[in-house]
């Protein structure tokens, strides 16, 4: 990844003050340039800023030209007016909706990352009408997320160019799934973008919904300047300035090294990479890497002298934002001064949409699929990280196989079995070395917030036995992120199983619900 100079500048206003930002920058980057970079005040009066960097946590809610938006998912535009929300704000979903007719498609693909792009390109020669949906500004997913501070790899550019060559592929970026539309006679999903909401009817569905970071609570994790490890990568790509900043990265898995490389290339000083796995587990993993030479070379290129095994975060502290982090090592503790702390404890599949549609899960928590990538629901396929964590190579092969199978090309799909087996074995090799150790599941204190949206501390959750009971009595999981952060955390900490959503996947505009109800006769009460 290289960082080109971007001389083009846009003029925007933040809280009434003019500023210039690089073309392609996110609103989150603009807020980070403007000290202290906070975007909102929580329900208990805490300052908050961008955390996940991927539109999951909803911590970076701001007003953009009068409408509530996620700063990390919104690109700056000339003349844009941004106002930080200095009070508790609801989910970022309000905007004037417009009724627009969208024709039914033969194949609907949700997620335009490596799996989704590969699925669309595999199915496109069949001539089927394909709609490819993604909530990011451009296809590529999180791994190929672009912005002013990144040059896309050749493969990502090639896949984008291929998508543009097929007239039967309709690409809908900045568009999200908010629920099931329930139209009679044909399945449909409720989609929204900044301008409109509609029921997208389809014949066959491929879910390529990817994964999100597992973000575990610890004292100080809500301070501005604390992000996910993948979140740090995403924010750097979106233009968040790091030059000269001291960065600590902690957690587990290969993503830590990738985040460190991104921070280093952005001019930051990475002062520590704390990997919770011990050196024996990593040595066993390294011994097996010869089976995947490209992965071995990648690991060697990413290695940093600041890498420490058997080490994990204990606490972040600071006056209004993170300034110090305390780490546990095998031989004691250390405290490091820093400007940012990025923590990632692995990835979890995004399965909520699949669950809402009735798809079963496998033993590892991903969507269960057969040899043709079909889920347990006929006509619904799944590919990529939503079927289990395994990297973009596995995702591309699964996506291509799902695309061929959805188009009825079973012979072509079967030819990919050998490639998939190779990358599935790599995914299996990742699981054991980076399994979370017990100390990481007991970092939270009684006053540590578990639900960041509703500021629910661990002490409030202690009396409850399951997710439903906790939601009813504490509002845990009922805030803007709809349990995407605390749901995964409580599952890891307490073994609670979040219930699948019923009709709505995310907060939807009233106008969208009304428009769909008027055409389908469906009630959303």
Q: What is the pLDDT of residues 219-254, one digit of tens each?
A: 999 999 999 999 999 999 999 999 999 999 999 999
Give the C-alpha separation, 461 to 456, whole Å: 8
Rounded mean pLDDT of 181-194? Answer: 84
Rounded CA-CA distance 430/414 in Å is: 25
Q: At what angle do helices 255-265 and 293-302 cross, to 10 degrees?
A: 50
- Whether the pLDDT of residue 2 is over 50: the answer is no
Looking at the predicted structure, is the pLDDT value of residue 262 above 80?
yes
Residue 1: pLDDT band (50, 70, 90) is: very low
**DSSP-derived 3-state class of residue 396:** helix
3-state secondary structure of 341: strand
Beta-bridge partners for 212: 348
Given a contact cutoff of 8 angstroms between Cβ atoms, the answer to whether 386 and 366 are in contact is yes
Q: Give the integer Cα–Cα distance in Å for 228 and 453.
A: 16
Strands (DSSP E) along 252-367, which ranges? 269-275, 307-309, 312-317, 324-329, 332-337, 340-344, 347-349
Measuring CA to CA, how many Å separate 282 from each of 175, 289, 309?
Answer: 40, 11, 8
Segment 24-76, tens digit of pLDDT: 899 999 999 886 677 888 999 999 999 999 999 999 999 999 888 899 999 99
Tokens 């080109």 sit at which residue? 4
Tell me how far apart the alpha carbons of residues 501 and 178 are, in angstroms, rounded to a whole number: 11
Average pLDDT value for residue range 504-514: 78
User: What count of residues does the chain have?
Assistant: 525
Alpha-carbon distance of 179 to 505, in angstroms, equals 5
Examine the pLDDT at 91 and tell me if it is beyond 60.
Answer: no
Assigned token pair, 185: 């006679």
- Is residue 119 within 8 A of residue 407, CB to CB? The reply is no
State the pLDDT confidence band at 499, using cuts at 50, 70 and 90. confident
Q: Is the dihedral of CA 146, 148, 154, 157 positive or negative?
A: positive
C-alpha–C-alpha distance, residues 193 and 177, integer Å: 9
According to DSSP, the residues that pair with 84 across neighbouring strands are: 62
Q: What pLDDT was estimated at residue 5?
A: 45
Measured between alpha carbons, how far is 212 from 113 in angstroms, rounded to an integer? Answer: 13
Q: Report pLDDT for 85.
A: 66
The DSSP bridge pattern shows strands 324-329 and 332-337 to be antiparallel
What are the b/e assignments for 206-222, b being 16+ CB within 10 Å?
bbbbbbbbbbbbbbbbb
pLDDT at 516 over 80: no
- Joined tokens for residue 408: 């009825």
- List CB contacts of 275: < 8 A, sequence separation 6 or more: 251, 252, 256, 282, 307, 308, 309, 310, 311
Which regions of 347-481 does DSSP assign to beta strands (E)?
A: 347-349, 380-382, 449-451, 456-457
- As a whole number, the mean pLDDT across the chain is 90
With the CA atoms of 73, 76, 79 and 81 taken in that order, what torsion angle do they form, in degrees rounded to the nearest 10? 40
CA distance 374 to 62: 39
Residue 95 has pLDDT above 60, yes or no: no
Q: Which residues pair with 457 in a beta bridge?
A: 449
| pLDDT score at 227 | 97
90, pLDDT greater than 60: no
Residues 135-153: what's their mean pLDDT? 88
Q: Of all residues in the chain, what percent carry a pLDDT higher than 90?
A: 74
Lowest mean pLDDT of 160-169, 236-245, 322-331, 500-509, name the range.
500-509
Question: What pLDDT is stored for residue 3 in this prediction?
Answer: 37
Q: Are 322 and 316 in contact (CB under 8 A)?
A: yes
Q: Residue 197's beta-bridge partner residues?
A: 192
pLDDT of the residue at 302:
75
- Sign of CA pseudo-dihedral 277, 269, 304, 396: positive
Cα separation, 204 vs 187, in Å, equals 9
CA distance linking residue 174 with residue 240, whole number of Å? 20
Q: Which of 386-390, 451-455, 502-506 has the lowest mean pLDDT?
A: 502-506
pLDDT over 70 percentage in the chain: 93
Element (H, E) at 419: helix 417-431
Is residue 364 very low, low, confident or very high in pLDDT (cuts 50, 70, 90)? very high
Q: How far is CA 224 from CA 198, 304, 432, in A?
A: 36, 26, 32
Strands of 9-14's sheet in order across: 17-22, 9-14, 81-84, 61-64, 67-70
Quick check: 452 and 481 in contact, CB under 8 A? yes
């Amino acid at each position: 990844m290289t960082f080109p100079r971007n001389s083009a500048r846009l003029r925007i206003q933040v809280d009434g003050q003019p500023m210039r930002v690089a073309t392609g920058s996110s609103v989150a980057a603009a807020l980070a340039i403007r000290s202290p970079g906070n975007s909102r005040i929580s329900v208990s009066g805490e300052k908050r800023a961008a955390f996940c960097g991927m539109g999951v946590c909803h911590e970076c809610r701001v007003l953009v030209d009068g409408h509530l938006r996620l700063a990390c998912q919104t690109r700056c535009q000339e003349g844009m007016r941004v106002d930080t929300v200095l009070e508790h704000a609801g989910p970022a979903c309000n905007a004037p909706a417009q009724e627009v007719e969208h024709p039914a498609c033969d194949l609907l693909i949700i997620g335009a990352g490596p799996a989704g792009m590969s699925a669309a390109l595999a199915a496109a020669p069949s001539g089927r009408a394909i709609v490819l949906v993604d909530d990011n500004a451009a296809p590529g997913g999180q791994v190929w997320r672009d912005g002013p501070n990144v040059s896309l790899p050749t493969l990502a550019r090639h896949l984008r160019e291929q998508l543009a060559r097929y007239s039967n592929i309709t690409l809908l970026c900045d568009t999200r799934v908010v629920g099931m539309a329930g139209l009679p006679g044909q399945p449909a999903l409720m989609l929204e973008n900044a301008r409109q909401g509609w029921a997208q009817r389809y014949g066959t569905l491929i879910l390529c919904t990817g994964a999100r970071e597992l973000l575990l609570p610890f004292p100080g994790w809500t301070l501005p300047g604390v992000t996910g490890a993948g979140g740090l990568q995403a924010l750097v790509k979106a233009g968040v300035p790091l030059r000269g900043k001291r960065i600590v990265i902690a957690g587990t898995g290969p993503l830590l090294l990738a985040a460190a490389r991104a921070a280093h290339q952005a001019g930051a000083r990475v002062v520590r990479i704390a990997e919770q796995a011990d050196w024996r587990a990593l040595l066993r993993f390294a011994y097996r890497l010869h089976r995947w030479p490209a992965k071995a070379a990648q690991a060697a290129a990413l290695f940093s002298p600041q890498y420490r095994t058997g080490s994990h975060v204990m606490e972040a502290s600071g006056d209004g934002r993170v300034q110090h982090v305390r780490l546990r090592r095998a031989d004691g503790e250390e405290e490091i001064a820093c400007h940012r702390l990025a923590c990632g404890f692995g990835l979890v599949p995004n399965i909520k949409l699949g669950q809402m549609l009735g798809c079963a899960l496998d033993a590892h928590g991903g969507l269960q699929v057969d040899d043709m990538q079909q889920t347990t629901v006929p006509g619904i396929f799944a590919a990529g990280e939503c079927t289990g964590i395994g990297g973009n190579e596995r995702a591309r092969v699964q996506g291509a196989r799902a695309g061929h199978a959805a188009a009825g090309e079973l012979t072509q799909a079967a030819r990919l079995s050998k490639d998939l087996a190779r990358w599935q074995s790599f995914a299996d090799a990742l699981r054991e070395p980076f399994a979370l150790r017990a100390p990481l599941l007991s970092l939270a204190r009684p006053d540590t917030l578990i639900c960041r949206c509703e500021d629910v501390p661990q002490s409030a959750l202690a009396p409850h036995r399951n997710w439903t009971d906790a939601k009813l009595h504490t509002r845990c999981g009922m805030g803007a992120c709809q349990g995407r952060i605390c749901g995964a955390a409580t599952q890891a900490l307490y073994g609670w199983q979040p219930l699948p959503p019923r009709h709505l996947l995310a907060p939807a505009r009233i106008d969208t619900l009304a428009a769909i109800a008027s055409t389908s006769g469906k009630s959303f009460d």
